[in-house]
Amino acid sequence: MVDVALIFPGQGAQAVGMGKEFYDGSAEAKAIFDQAQDTLDNDLLDVIFNGPQEKLTLTSYSQPAIVTFSVAALAALKESSKFQNINPKFTAGLSLGEYSALIASGAFSFEDGIRLVERRGAFMEEACDINKGTMAAVIGFDKDKLKEICEQAGAQVANFNSPAQIVISGGIQEVEKACELIKEAGAKTVIPLEVAGAFHSSLMSSAVDKFKAELDKITINSLALPVVSNVKAIAETDPKAVADNLSKQIISSVLWEDSVRFMASQGITDFIEIGPGRVLKGLIRKIDSSLKVHNIQTPEDIENLSF
């Protein structure tokens, strides 16, 4: 058996039609999709499978859609004989993907997880309306220098995705000022992002208390598999720590690079990215090119899985 980490993508990876092959070909995957539909009681499945893309991109659809597809793809993988060759040691996810990771680890049921995701998205949208903000991706720039400039401009660091990619967040004027200073200081590329607001920054603070109230309504179990948290980049199995990290994640930097390096330091050389897109594979390639990432987006990917 091969020790692996199961990793899950975040918002932005959605695509119309994703997961339809799993829905049609796996009883376990179909059950997950149907449960999402029943739990949220909206037109989620129709939007996932038929679009339009503009509707699927809305936070209220994209976040539950990505988690549903990721958990359904994992269910299909577990049905396969290929899963017998895998020994999962950790789970982790990028921002939203941490919810898929926690469901995979047994922290809470899929039903509770998808409700939390739906509520989180709604509270974050409300926060975006209260505090207008934006984000920008910075390519090829020193981490410490970037932190200094953000502090100077009043912006914040949202994601440490890889040595080559850091995302900043904050008020519109503050992010624009930071982008100017970063360019002047020699950044390779600065890309303004088309987002609804300043995610993973203090501008999301109004969402935190509302989210904590939702968390209090569910039971968080002791984790069967450690989750490497976005907030601390260490393995967590304690329910109280999980709840605390999920609340903090809304306003904290996502430490994805450190999370990957932590898992690698624990002997993990193989990662299985489960869900739409290959974003995490690209980031991990930049973090440590010796690490291997296997993608699961279709039943064919499961058939072709080999170590």
How many helices (H) does the chain have, and how many strands (E)? 14, 10
Contact 227, 242 (CB under 8 A): yes
Q: Residues 128-132: contacts with CB within 8 Å, 24+ apart?
A: 128/196, 128/197, 128/198, 130/206, 131/171, 131/197, 131/198, 131/203, 131/204, 131/206, 132/171, 132/172, 132/197
DSSP state of 168: E
94 to 5, 27, 114, 180, 192: CA distances (angstroms): 13, 27, 16, 27, 20
| 57/297 Cα distance (integer angstroms) | 18
Among 192, 200, 195, 188, which Cα is nearest to 175's?
A: 192
Q: Taking the CA atoms of the chain, what radius of gyration do you get in angstroms? A: 19
Both structure tokens of 58: 């809305």
Cα first-last separation, the chain: 9
- Whole-angstrom distance, CA of residue 255 vs CA of residue 232: 7
Given a contact cutoff of 8 angstroms between Cβ atoms, the answer to whether 70 and 100 are in contact is: yes
CB 222 within 8 A of CB 237: yes
The edge-to-edge listing of strands for the beta sheet with 86-93 is: 235-236, 227-228, 86-93, 2-8, 270-274, 292-296
What are the catalytic residues? 95, 200
Q: Which residue is listed with tokens 């409300």?
A: 126
